[in-house]
Amino acid sequence: MHHVGCVAMNESISIECPHCGESFSLALDVSEGSAEFIVDCEVCCRPMTVAVRINDGEIEGIEVVEA
């Protein structure tokens, strides 16, 4: 739940599908901190796990692997 007065810090990242090699963008709320989630490729529809390391609102690293 978002608190009144908090502003989401959205950032767009480009990731490459580990299955087909195509790139596409994902929107992240960096104010939420580090996260790991599964998304489907926008091109081949196969799942991948995306792990994003965020520290003080800055993206420190992104790992994308087959799910």
Is 23 in contact with 15 (CB distance < 8 Å)?
A: yes
pLDDT in tens, 12-64: 999 999 999 999 999 988 888 999 999 999 999 999 999 999 998 889 999 99
Domain that holds residue 37: 10-66
Q: Is residue 4 part of a domain?
A: no
Answer whether residue 41 is part of any domain. yes
The Cα–Cα gap between 50 and 1 comes to 23
Q: Is the pLDDT of residue 1 over 50?
A: no
Ramachandran category for residue 27: left, alpha or beta (phi over 0 → left; psi -120 to 50 → alpha)? beta
Which of the 8 DSSP states describes residue 31?
G
Structural domains of the chain, count:
1
Q: Is the pLDDT of residue 2 over 60?
A: no
Q: Is residue 2 a part of any domain in this protein?
A: no
